[in-house]
Structure 1
Amino acid sequence: MGAPSRGEGQLPQGNGAAEGTLDPVDEQLVRLLMRDGRAGYVELGARVDLSGDAARERLKRLIADDVIKVVGSVSPATVGLESFALVGITVSGPALPVARALADLPAADLVVQTTGMFDIIAELVCRDDRELLRVLDETVRTVPGVAKCLVMQYLSVEKYAMEGSQQLLVGGGHPGDPAHASAWEDVDDSDRALISVLQQDGRASFKQLAEHSGVPYASARRRVLRLLERGVVRIVTITNQLLFGQRVQAGVGMRVQGPIPDVVRRLADLDEVEIVAATTGPYDLLLEVNCASRADLYRLTGTVLRGIEGVVSTETFSYIDIHKLPYTWTAL
C-alpha cells in the first residue's frame, strides 16, 4: 500500500502476537475482519463471545503488533500513483536499524528483512518516475547503513492474489483498466483526502475521517459511503503471514528465455505464486510466493518453477521479518 504508517515500522517484541501465539479468539477475529474490515466492535465481539470493548482491545493489539492491517484499497490511478519499484538493499552493519528507518519513509509501501542476495527489500510507490528517482536519491540512498540498491521497476502486474487479502487490493483491475475508469472519473480532492485517511486506517470512524481530511462530518460520511458502494475504495484486511498462519514467504527473481506471457500463464496456475510482476533490472519477472513450509518452498523453487519451459534461472530471497505491511494495492 507512499505508505503513511503508524510510525512504528517494527514488530514489537515480547508480546503474544509477535511471538506467534495468537489464540483461537484472535484468529477468529482476524477471519471476521477479512470478511468485513469495517465491522463494528459490538458485532465482532458478539461473534466471538466478547464485549465490544474487549474486541476493540484485541484488535488494537493485533494491529499494533503488525499481525494485521485494515486499509482502504484503491486503484493506484485513483490517487495518481504510476511508478512502482522493488528495491533490493544491501547494508553495511546491522540491518535492523536500516529496515526501521526505511519503514518510516512515506514512499515505502513494504519493508522486509530477507535472506539471500538482499538484506532488505522495500517497495516504493510514487506518483511518477521523477518522484521515484528523487525518493531513491534523497531518502533511500541516504539512510545510514545503506550500501547498495538494486532497483527493479514494475512494468506490469500479471497476477495478484494475496492469501491475506481475500480480494484484489488493486481494486479489481490494473491501473488504467477502462472497465473501472467510470468508477473514479468524478473523484475530487475531497474524496482523495478521505481516501488518504482510509489508506492509513480502513476502520477510521466517520468522525476521524472528517477530522483528518478536513471534510465536514456530514459530507465525509456521505462521500465515504458512496466511495465504498461504488467500489472505488475497498476495505481490505491484510495479514502478516509470518505471524498469522505461520506461512513461509519469499520473493523470487526469475530470468526467462522466449515469450514472457507463456511463462506467466504457467505461473498463474500455481496457488503458491501470489504475485507475478514484469520488471526492469536483472529479472524478467518478480514473484512473491507463499508456502506452508520450508520444504514446500524448496519444492516450489527447486523443482516446480525451474521445470517451467522458458525459465532460465531463479533467485530466492526468503522473508524473515516484515517491518511494514503494504497499504496500497500490492505486496511484492
Structure 2
Amino acid sequence: MDTSRQSAAKAPKGNEPPAGGLDAVDHQLVKLLVADGRAGYAELGAGVELSGDAVRERLKRLISDDVIKVIGSVSPATAGLDSFALVGISVRGPVLPVALALAELPEADLVVQTTGMFDIIVELVCRDDRELLRVLDESVRSIPGVLTCLAMQYLSVEKYAPEGSQQLLVGGGLSGGSGAWEDLDDADRALVAVLQQDGRASFKELAEQSGVPYASARRRALRLLERGVVRIVTITNQLVYGRRVQAGVGLRVQGPVPDVVRTLRDIDEVEVAAATTGPYDLLLEVSCASRADLYHLTGTVLRRIPGVMSTETFSYIDIHKLPYTWTAL
C-alpha cells in the first residue's frame, strides 16, 4: 500500500511530465514527500536529479491537480474533537452544487460524490454530540437540494492505514503527540491552523499568515512538530494516483464485531475500518487497482469472512475535500 513500494526509474531531465499522466519523477516525488512532507526543494531535487526550482513547479502542479495535499494532521484528542459521523446524503437536482457547499463547512472533513444509495458522503468532525446535531440541522439539512441525510456515528475506529498517511490506528485509539488543545495558547493554535492548510508552509509564511513574530513562530512550530502535536502528512488522491479505485463499504455483521475486525486488519485493500451506529456495523474505506479488483474484494473476499452477512458499496466518483485530521473515512 505504501508508495515506497513503487519502484522509481532514474529521473529524467526536464520538468514536464508526459501528456496524460504522471511520470517517474512525479511518483518519486510523492514517495519522498510521504517520507518527509516538509523536505526542502533542494533535498527533493537531489532525490530526483532536478533543480529545486523544477521540483517547486512540479509540486505546484501535483497540488493544483489534486494529486496530493500536504497538511498538518492533528489528533482529535489534541484538538478536543469527540464526535464523528459519516453522513450519507441524497440530493434533489444537481449534485455538484451541494457537494461544493458541503466542502465549505469547517466541520466537514471529507466530501465525496458517490454511486450507490447515496449521492454524497461527508464526514463530520465535531467537538461533541450537541455540536454534531447542530451541524446536521443548521448546516447540512439547510443546503438547497439536500433531500435526506443518514448519519452514521463512529463508535470506534479499528483500523486507519490510508496510503500516504504514515499513521496506523488499531483498536480505537491513535498513538499521537502529547498535549491537549487547552494546553496551547492562541499563537500555537494560529500556527496549527496554517499548517492544517499547508503542511509545507515556510517559517516566514507561518509568521505572516498567523500574525506571530518570525522568531517565535519558528520556535513554536518546531516545538509543535517535535512533540507530535502536528504531524505533516502527504495525502494522495487515490482517484488520480495509486490504486485509482476507491470506495466506502458498509458491512452488516452477525456475531461479535471484533472477530471480523481482526480479519479486516490483514486485508491490504482495507485502509480504514470503523464501528458505527446506523444501518451498518462496520464502515470501511477501501482502495483497489481496478473495478474488477473492487468487485472481487466486495463480492468475494469480504463476504467470505465469518460473520459478514452483507456488503454495500459506495464507489467514489469525485473527491471535493480531503481531511485535515486523521479520520479520513
Q: Is this a same-fold pair by TM over 0.5?
A: yes
1:171-320 residue pairs with structure 2 within 5 A?
182-184=178-180, 186-320=183-317
Give me the identity figure in percent. 79
1:1-332 residue pairs with structure 2 within 5 A?
21-168=21-168, 182-184=178-180, 186-332=183-329
Distance 1:126 1:20 in 2: 39
CA deviations over 1:248-297 (Å, ceiling 9, x no partner): 11101111111111111111111111111011111111001111111111
TM-score (norm 2): 0.89
Distance 1:287 1:61 in 2: 30
When residues 173 and 55 of structure 1 are mapped into structure 2, their CA distance, relative to the original with a 3 A threshold, is farther
CA positional deviation for 1:331: 1.5
2:83–2:128 CA contact under 8 A, matched in 1: yes
- Structure number with greater CO (CA < 8 Å, separation at least 6) is 1
CA deviations over 1:133-155 (Å, ceiling 9, x no partner): 11111111111211111111111
Aligned residues: CA RMSD? 2.1
Distance 2:102 2:314 in 1: 18
CA positional deviation for 1:174: 5.2
Distance 1:24 1:102 in 2: 35
CA positional deviation for 1:215: 2.3
When residues 68 and 180 of structure 1 are mapped into structure 2, their CA distance, relative to the original with a 3 A threshold, is closer
Distance 1:235 1:182 in 2: 15
CA positional deviation for 1:213: 2.3
CA positional deviation for 1:173: 8.8
Deviates more, 1:234-243 or 1:90-99: 90-99
Distance 2:230 2:20 in 1: 31
When residues 180 and 25 of structure 1 are mapped into structure 2, their CA distance, relative to the original with a 3 A threshold, is closer
2:302 match: secondary structure: helix
TM-score (norm 1): 0.88
2:177–2:230 CA contact under 8 A, matched in 1: no
2:164–2:233 CA contact under 8 A, matched in 1: no
Distance 1:270 1:105 in 2: 33
Deviates more, 1:223-232 or 1:148-157: 223-232
CA positional deviation for 1:209: 1.4
1:72–1:235 CA contact under 8 A, matched in 2: yes
Distance 1:196 1:79 in 2: 11
CA positional deviation for 1:76: 0.7
CA positional deviation for 1:29: 1.4
Distance 2:62 2:54 in 1: 13
Structure 1 residue identity aligned to 2:264: L
1:307 match: secondary structure: coil
1:306 match: secondary structure: coil
CA positional deviation for 1:330: 2.0
CA positional deviation for 1:181: 7.1
Distance 1:54 1:270 in 2: 38
1:244 match: secondary structure: coil
User: Unpaired runs of 5+ in structure 1?
Assistant: 1-15
Structure 2 residue identity aligned to 1:128: D
Distance 2:172 2:159 in 1: 10
1:164–1:241 CA contact under 8 A, matched in 2: no
Structure 1 residue identity aligned to 2:117: M
Distance 1:20 1:286 in 2: 34
1:164–1:240 CA contact under 8 A, matched in 2: no
Deviates more, 1:158-167 or 1:206-215: 206-215
CA deviations over 1:220-249 (Å, ceiling 9, x no partner): 111111121222221110000111124211
User: Unpaired runs of 5+ in structure 2?
Assistant: 1-15
Structure 1 residue identity aligned to 2:98: V
Distance 2:95 2:129 in 1: 27
